[in-house]
Amino acid sequence: MTNPVSQIEARSLLNEASRISKKAHNAVRWPYITFLLLLGVVTSFGSFAMAMTEGSDFGLAYAITLIAFFIVMMVFLISTKGKLAFAWSKRWSIYIASWTVVYLGAIMVVAFAHGSLVLASVTSGLVLLLNTTFAIIEMKR
């Protein structure tokens, strides 16, 4: 059997595989990366604002967070309609599960340690840090 692929062809095929793989990934990943970043920003700042405010200011922070959250969700659902690039993948399940856990922590601070600057900063900061890290991981893939 002669070699079906020469050294030069092998290099060319590897370059082509890398190019197509990146092209496909680029075509679908940006709505997901934007979603991760916006979700982090909205829920982080929202939970921090809710933890540090009272009365009508709390109501305003709560309403703005809720509206912003729904806008982020709607934009994400519309922009990814029909594209299921990362749906149900193990990696994305881990992202969403991790965000849920740290966000619940931030909400616990709002409910049980209201006004604690340290706890609110740590938990809300963690939400932002985590989602930004996930977004960077996706950008670098």
Partner 1 sequence: MTIVEKTHPRHQLNELLLNPIRFSLVASLDKAEKLSFSEVRDIIEVSDSVMSKQVSALEQVNILLVQKIFVGKYPKTMLSLTKEGRSAWQEHLAALKTIAG
Q: Binding of partner 1 at residue 77 (CB under 8 A)? A: no
DSSP type of residue 113: S
Residue 56 contacts partner 1 per CB under 8 A? no
Dihedral sign computed on CA atoms, order 14, 18, 93, 138: positive
Q: Which is nearer to partner 1, 91 or 122 (CB)?
A: 91
Residue 87 DSSP symbol: T
Position 34 contacts partner 1 (CB under 8 A): no
The answer to whether 36 and 134 have CB atoms below 8 angstroms apart is yes
CA atoms 25, 27, 29, 33: torsion sign: positive
Q: Is the dihedral of CA 103, 136, 35, 47 positive or negative?
A: positive
Contact call for residue 3 and partner 1 (CB under 8 A): yes
Determine the Cα–Cα distance for residues 105 and 121; give it in Å rounded to an integer: 12
Establish if 82 lies at the interface with partner 1 (CB under 8 A): yes
- The answer to whether 79 contacts partner 1 (rule: CB under 8 A) is no
Residue among 41, 64, 73, 85 that touches partner 1 (CB under 8 A)? 85
> In this chain, which of 45, 58, 69, 86 binds partner 1, going by CB under 8 A?
86
Q: Which residues bind partner 1 (CB under 8 A)?
A: 1, 3-7, 10-11, 13-14, 16-17, 20-25, 27-29, 81-89, 141
